[in-house]
A and B are shown apart, each in its own frame.
Chain A
Amino acid sequence: MTTEGRTVLAEFHPPGPADFDLPPIFGDVTKPMVLYVLSAVLIFGCFYIASRRAAVVPSKAQFAGEYAYNFVRNSIARDSIGSHDFMKFVPYLTALFFLILVNNYYGLIPFFQFPTFSHSGYAYGLAALTWILYNGVGIAKHGFLGYFKLQSVPGGVSGPILLLIVPLEFMSNILVRPVTLALRLFANMFAGHLLLILFTLGGSYLVFDSGNILYAPVGVVAWLLAVAVSFLEALVMFLQAYVFTLLTAQYIGGALADEH
């Protein structure tokens, strides 16, 4: 038994980062690249059709589009930035939310089956843009020194404790934010997809390739778990898109906030 078990382990290759390194489809173009561009086309196409003939009394498509648009516009942008300035950032936040959302859900859709943001580069890029944006609007509003004072010196704190607080606040508000933003999205998508691969490939290995009929029921359990994990992932995928967008909006709101 033990030798058999060892051979089983030896033959099964657990999924790892290599599974995310897909071969290019043609030239240097890889699957996530195609998916990413496709998502942008899909999002704009849907929104364009929904909003093309926007009227006082909405059509079905317009109603659905407004529902999606309002979610970002009102629940994320307006609530975080405030009704005075939020409209400027609605296009950015709308594009951000739906781009992340669609690319995340690629992980669950048959044939696509790959969450684009499990490639860290896409997450880094968007996080960098958010970083530039919120620091940019902050500096534009408060001036360079005023902005760094706003972000580094919390209101109501004075005295020697500032020596401790100021570097900490600067670190957390200016340096760490883009990193956590990018890593949170990337790691969730990466880990979720890895988990799915593990349960599905592991299950099929146990059922078909292990050579031991007794392992088959365990393989079926693994598949059931894969289904359960898929539902969990569906939630995580939405949440990550929501959190990324919401935090971006809150960073912008914080950068625009008046000094307390």
Chain B
Amino acid sequence: MSSTILAAGGELNPLVPHVDEIVLGVVVFLILVFLIKKFVVPNFEKAYAERTAAIEGGMKEAAAAQEEAKAALEQYNAQLSEARHEAARIREEAREQGAQIVAEMRAQAQDEAQRIVTAAHQQIEAERAQAVQSLRRQVGELSTELASRIVGESLEDEARQRRTVERFIVDLEGSSNGSAN
């Protein structure tokens, strides 16, 4: 009785393995490891590497694009400020030029006015001199004729005639000056 129980217990002791199960377990497992190592892991790892590369590439590209955009912005800003400076400079220049032109024009106009006034003065002076000249001559002739008629004698002596006329004119001028004052 006890021997059969022992035998049964020995046979059914679950801790005692079947050797063929150990061998099968190890062999099948090693085959599975080999297959996974050979066919599964490389594919996954390749996909991971590609994914990493793609993401890194994308990030690099994005960074480059950002850099480019920043550079472009800086360039535009620089150009804009340059343009502003340029505009300010041109405005300033225009203002200066305008002022200069105005000044020049003014000076020119003044010169012109001066010139016109001077010319007028000269003309007036000339006309006055001419008038005086002609008046002087007419007065001489008139007074000579008058004197000859009054005195009744012909004053043929040129020298005396002239002296008489000049004396008369000096007197005339002196009296006209005195009346003007």
Contacts and interface: CB of A to CB of B under 8 A. Distances in A.
Interface of A: 16-18, 20-21, 28, 32-33, 36-37, 40, 43-44, 47-48, 50-52, 54-56, 58, 62, 65-66, 69, 73, 87, 90-92, 94-96, 99, 118-122, 124-126, 128-129, 186, 190
Contact of B14 (A37, A44, A73, A190): A190
B65 interface: no
Contact of A36 (B13, B16, B28, B50): B28
B32 A69 contact: no
Nearest to A103: B25
A17 B50 contact: no
B158 to A, nearest CB: 136
Given A17-B13, A69-B40, A95-B36, A40 B24 contact: no
Interface size class of B (residues with CB under 8 A): 35 or more
B180 interface: no
A87 B44 CA distance: 12
Interface in B27-48: 28-37, 39-41, 43-47
Contacts of B18: 119, 121
Contact of B50 (A20, A33, A56): A56
B55 to A, nearest CB: 9
Contacts of B20: 28, 33, 121
A91 B36 contact: yes
Indicate the member of B22, B34, B46 with the most A CB atoms within 10 Å: B22
Contacts of A20: 14
B37 A124 contact: no
B35 A66 contact: no
B151 interface: no
Nearest to A120: B17
B101 to A, nearest CB: 72
A48 to B, nearest CB: 6
B22 A43 contact: no
Indicate the member of B32, B35, B39, B51 with the most A CB atoms within 10 Å: B32
A118 B43 CA distance: 34
Contacts of B17: 119-121, 124
A5 B46 CA distance: 67
A127 B43 CA distance: 28
Sorted from nearest, which 3 A-B pairs have the closest CB atoms? Answer: A121-B21, A121-B17, A91-B37
Given A18-B12, A90-B41, A120-B14, A40 B32 contact: yes
Contacts of A21: 12
